[in-house]
Amino acid sequence: MQQEVEALLALQEDDLKIREIESQIRLLDPQLADLDKKRDQAAAALARAQTAVQAEEKKQRELQGRLAQHKQMQERNLHQLEDVKRMREATAATAQVESTRRLMAEDEGELAILGRRIADMNATIAASKQALAAVEEEQQAARPEIESKRSALQSELDDAKRDRNGKAVSVSRPMLGKYDRIRGKRTQALYALRGGSCGNCDTAVPLQRRNIMAGSGQIEVCEACGVLLYADSA
């Protein structure tokens, strides 16, 4: 029976190692998620800046179209002014020229403001592109580093699992089932008695049971916390 304790202890050592490797692998996930988030944020900022400038450029094209129309109108106005002979018609034509000139000045003023705004926005786009490129460059080094850490841990994990499965055959099937069930609920399933008490929860184990455990190497379940207990003969 002492053999079973030893086999189970060896198995448990592997299981604790496997847990440790698995938790190290899990720690890498948020690192990758952080990289994704940072890159997405930089890309979203660039997309927003590009959409904003597109809207302003559309306004600019409309305004340029309006100015072109006003220029054509003014050409006609000026022809008309040359053609008119009578005073009253000349006054009206002059007023028309003046009003169109004001419209054109308004168009040009708006276009100048819009042009400055678009230039500012293009500067923002350039800055966003640079920021995105910087994030991508930074990640070009970080990502493979994380990936190689992960694959190293993964092969370590595969080895540990193979070792573990090799050792599991040395434990009787009912004991292995019990051990696996208990292990599913907590980190460690098997504890040594410590001063006559459960090594996990410190509840005293009756002397008679302790004697049986020490004598035959029998594994018992702690009545208080449910872990497996063995008498450490050493």
Chain residues that interact with Zn ion, rule: CB under 5 A: 198, 200-201, 222, 224-225
Q: 103-112 burial, b for 16+ CB within 10 Å, e for fewer? A: bbeebeeebe
Nearer to Zn ion, 57 or 232 (CB): 232
Nearer to Zn ion, 105 or 201 (CB): 201
Kindly give, in sequence order, each residue whose CB lies less than 8 Å from that of residue 217, ignoring residues fewer than 6 positions away: 1, 2, 3, 4, 5, 230, 231, 233
Nearer to Zn ion, 49 or 228 (CB): 228
Kindly state the tokens that stand for 52: 């904003």
For residue 204, the minimal CB distance to Zn ion (Å) is 10
Nearer to Zn ion, 129 or 210 (CB): 210
For residue 197, the minimal CB distance to Zn ion (Å) is 8
Kindly give, in sequence order, each residue whose CB lies less than 8 Å from that of residue 150, ignoring residues fewer than 6 positions away: 25, 28
For residue 199, the minimal CB distance to Zn ion (Å) is 8
Q: What are phi and psi of 90, to 5 degrees?
A: -65, -40
Distance of CA 168 to the CA centre of its chain: 38
d(CA 68, CA 100): 12
For residue 171, the minimal CB distance to Zn ion (Å) is 21
Kindly state the tokens that stand for 60: 């600019």
For residue 215, the minimal CB distance to Zn ion (Å) is 21
d(CA 46, CA 225): 57
Nearer to Zn ion, 189 or 198 (CB): 198
For residue 200, the minimal CB distance to Zn ion (Å) is 5
| DSSP structure string for 17-67 | HHHHHHHHHHHHHHHHHHHHHHHHHHHHHHHHHHHHHHHHHHHHHHHHHHH
Nearer to Zn ion, 82 or 195 (CB): 195
